[in-house]
Each structure stands twice: as structure tokens, then as C-alpha cells.
Structure 1
Amino acid sequence: MKTIQVIENVQRANDEVAAANRARLEGHGLAAVNLMGGPGSGKTTLLEATVAGLGEDAVVGILTGDLATTRDAERLARLTPHVAQINTGRGCHLEAHQVRHGLDALALDALDLLFIENVGNLICPVSWDLGQERRVALFSMTDGDDKPAKHPYIVLAADLVLLNKIDLAPHVPFDRERFLDDVRHLDEDVPVLELSALTGEGMEAWIEWLTRSATLAAPPAGTGP
């Protein structure tokens, strides 16, 4: 019982910071996308392609989470100067207080869109609100077609499911219909987009979703119509 109470207290404290993060972002007319996916699913490559695809249409900021190294941040900094690395040590997910410190490192007024690249994990990130506006679950064909069935909660938490690395379809054993059926069994309404961040196939629909889903900057609170 004491252990449960500790977990509840930690979760409550996280949610309070997440709410403050969300209010802070809203005050800047900025929404955040929490990008969740397993190691090697292509999160960083997707972000590189997204920044390039948006071009001058949007100024993108990125908080990138990893247990160690700044390698992803270094890759992304070649495309946008608005990047901050968050190292979690042994932590398998980002928490709201870490994102709060990450926000301190960014010029929020300069941004149109913020991505939070979570630690590579299909389980832990789902339970932790960071203050995001949208959650995106990224799978890849190299993960195997059974991942939605084995890891249902990331699908249930997602506003969008992405299937990446479709350029590898001829080369890997992947049952696309099984994958889609498992997603639909969990949430028949969640949109699913298929793409290759490497070749660019399907990226247009992803960019369109970002625009339509109101993740691109809106007027700061109190300044809109």
C-alpha cells in the first residue's frame, strides 16, 4: 500500500508540472507533439525529414530524450538551432520536470511547432504527461507487425499512429493487414499513416496532419479572435 501511495504521489506531482508546461506553451501560442516509439523505429530520422519538409513554413523546436549522449541533438541541430538534449540516465522515459527545464533552454517565442522526442520505449512514456498537445506513436516495419497487439497502451494513448520504413516492405516479414487490424481493434478511430522518413514516401500526409491537427502555432492565449 505504501508503494502504491508513493507512485500516486509521483504521478500527481508530474501531472501538476505537465499542466504548468501546457499552460506555458499555450501562453506562447505553441503546441507540442510527444513522439513516442521504440529504439530504432526512426524517430530522429523522421524529425530530420519533418524539419526539412516544413522548410520555411514553420520554425521547429525539438527536445530530444536519451539515456546518454547528445548524438540525436547533434544530428537535429544541423537542421534547426532550436534543439535541446535531455539525458535521463537510467530513466526509461521523459518526465514533465525534465521537459520544463528543456523549455527553459529554447526561445519559445521564436517557434511555430515543438517536438518532444521521447526516450526509445513502447511502454513507459505512455503513462507520463509532459504537457503535450498531441501524442504520436511511431512503429516501423522492422519492429514486427505484432507490436500494437503486444504494446496496446501506446496505441490507446496516441492521437496518430505512424508506420515507418515502408520502403523495406519487400525485404522484411511484415503482415501489414495484421498490423492495421490490431490497431483498429484497439482504437477504430485513430488515424494511421504509412511513410518512409528515409525516402520521403508518405511524408506529405504527415506534414498535412501536423497542420490540420492544430499543432502548428496558434495565437497566444487571449490574442486570438
Structure 2
Amino acid sequence: MCRVHEVQHAVLAKNDALAAALRADLRERDVVLVNLLSSPGSGKTALLERLLTRAVEDGVPVAAITADLATENDARRLARSGAPVKQVLTGGLCHLEAAQLRGHLDGWLPDGTRLLFVENIGNLVCPSSYDLGEELRVVLMSVTEGEDKPVKYPNAFGSANLVVLTKSDLAQAAGFDEPAFRGHVDRVNPGVPLLETSARTEQGIGRLWETVNGGAAVHQPVLARAAADGQHHHAAAHH
């Protein structure tokens, strides 16, 4: 078991180094990477299509990569926005990794791109452990999934710079307990901004667009703070 732990740690450490290098390269090119995480069926493709359409309408140079285990359905949907879109098929892998993402960006990312959206595979477990070099990590959840998801998946929600509640037009029909949801979010990631949206009614889309178009993380997630504190304590002990 200890050996498995060591291998996992080594894999994540290698990914983190590659993600840091990719982040630095993208900053050199003035590209902001936004990593979208959610479970399947949260509505993130519909929401991303709205954001890409808004970016094109506003004249903001934008591009998107969408990852799936199979099919190119999402890429075809997103391309309707008029933005450059690339589909990544992972061949069974349940998450994207920094090296894989870099390989798909090389030679494809259009010059002058300012915002790059990455629609990660629908999964709240594996993708949350892998830094992709993003400036902004957005974790989405629909009202139909139940208000306790943040405490069930603390690594995902605890690593978010922004939490987005989707399909809010269905909240009443789903019997969604919004105060309980907000309490759960605050428990795993105190202070993280929370936006309510609906791709169908366009509720909150303008505010979400303004936030991601701001170009930088609006909140340091609790897991990032814990990692920074751990590095500080380690350095102090070493000293």
C-alpha cells in the first residue's frame, strides 16, 4: 500500500511540475486557462457554449478544448459558438493531465487567444487531483445532484476558485435546499464565490462571463492555502 502511495505521489508531483511550466508559458502568451470540473450531466457543456458565444460576440479571442472518453458530440455543440474548439478523446483515462493537454495545445492554439476553456471529463474525483496549468478552476454542480455534493467531494470543491450552481431554474422542482448547499460549500472552501446560473434562461451567465473574463483567480481555495501552509512549515522545519 505504501508503494502505491509513493507512485501516486510521484505521478502527481511530475504533473504539478509540467502544469507549472505550462502555466508560465501561457502567461508569457497572455493566455488565461479556465479549467471546468463537474460530474456528468451538470450542464457544463451548455454553459460553456453560452460563454463561448458571449466571448465571440464581445470580440474576445477565445478557444476551448473539451475532453471525453468517447464521441465528439460536445465539440460539435461548442463549435456552434464560432470559437475554435478541439475534442480530446482520452481512451478510457478518467481525467486530463498537464502533459496530455500541452500535447494538444502545441500547434493548435490560435495566436492571440486570450481565454482558453478546458472542459474536463465529467468526474468529480480524478480530475480534481490534476493541475492543468489553469489560472481559474471552476467547479460546477446542478441543482438536480443534491445539496450534499460538496461534502461528498471535498477535494473538488475545496480546490475551486469559483463554484457555479447550474440548472437553477429547476431548483424548486428538484426540491433543492440552497441554504444547506451554501453551508456545505462554505464548510469545505470558506469564502469561495458561488454563482447561480441557468443556461436555459441565461440567469447568471452575464455575471459568470464577467468573472472568467476578469482573467485571474478571484479566490484562493482552501486546499491551495493548506498546501502553501504545508510548504511553509516544511521549509521552516528544514531551516
TM-score (norm 1): 0.90
Task: Report the CA distance between 1:79 and its aligned residue.
Answer: 1.4
Equivalent position of 2:10 in the other structure: 9
- d(CA) in 1 for partners of 2:161, 2:43: 18
Deviates more, 1:129-138 or 1:146-155: 146-155
- Could you say which residue in structure 1 is the equivalent of 2:126? 124
Write the deviation string for residues 9-55 of structure 1: whole angstroms up to 9, x where unpaired. 21122122212211221121111000000000011101101112232
Q: Say which is worse superposed, 126-135 or 78-87, in terms of deviation.
A: 78-87
Once residues 128 and 13 of structure 2 are traced to their aligned partners in structure 1, the CA distance between those partners, rounded to angstroms, is 15
Unpaired segments ≥5 residues, structure 2: 218-239
Aligned match for 2:158, one of 156, 159, 165: 156
Q: Shift in Å at residue 117 of structure 1? A: 0.5
Give the alignment partner of residue 90 of structure 1, picking from 79, 89, 92. 92
Report the equivalent of 1:70: 72
Amino acid at match of 1:212: G
1:105 shift after superposition:
4.6
Aligned-pair identity (%) = 45
Q: Is the 8 A contact 1:49 1:198 kept in 2?
A: no
The higher-RCO structure (CA 8 Å, 6+ apart) is 1
Match of 1:107 among 85, 109, 114: 109
**Residue in 2 that maps onto 1:59:** 61
Structure 1's unaligned 5+ residue stretches are 216-225
Map residues 170-181 of structure 1 onto 2, 5 A cutoff: 170-181=172-183
Distance 2:215 2:181 in 1: 24
Contact 2:23 2:134 (C-alpha < 8 Å) held by counterparts: yes
| Distance in 2 (alpha carbons) for counterparts of 1:73 and 1:142 | 24
C-alpha contact 1:67 1:119 (8 A) present in aligned 2:
yes
Task: Describe the superposition over 1:138-193 as per-residue Cα deviations: whole angstroms up to 9, x where unpaired.
Answer: 00011111111211111110000000001112311211111011111222210000
| 1:20 and 2:21 correspond | yes
- Contact 2:115–2:213 (Cα < 8 Å) also in 1: no
CA distance in 2, matches of 1:11, 1:104: 22
Distance 1:105 1:71, change over 3 A: farther
Q: Which amino acid aligns with 1:37?
A: S
Q: Residues 38 and 121 of structure 1 are in contact (CA less than 8 Å); yes or no, is this contact kept in structure 2?
A: yes
Which runs of 4 or more aligned residues in structure 1 lie more than 6 Å from their structure 2 counterparts after TM superposition? none
Q: Is 52-61 or 19-28 further displaced after alignment?
A: 52-61
Q: What is residue 33 of structure 2 aligned with on the other side?
A: 32
Please give the root-mean-square deviation of Cα atoms over the aligned residues, in Å. 1.5
Which residue of structure 1 lines up, in the alignment, with residue 44 of structure 2? Answer: 43
* Number of residue pairs matched by the alignment: 215
Give the stretch that moved more between structures: 107-116 or 38-47. Answer: 107-116
Question: Contact 1:61 / 1:106 at 8 angstroms: preserved in 2?
Answer: no
Q: SS where residue 169 of structure 1 aligns?
A: helix
The whole-number CA distance in structure 1 between the counterparts of 2:125 and 2:94 is 9
Cα distance in 2, alignment partners of residues 82 and 93 from structure 1: 22
Counterpart Cα distance in 2 of 1:74 and 1:101: 21
- For residues 106-132 of structure 1, give each alpha carbon's deviation from its aligned partner in whole angstroms, at most 9, with x where no partner exists: 334231200011000111111101111
Mapped partners of 1:127, 1:191: distance in 2: 21
For the 8 Å contact 2:64–2:83, the answer to whether it is kept is: no
Q: Distance in 2 between matches of 1:191 and 1:183?
A: 10
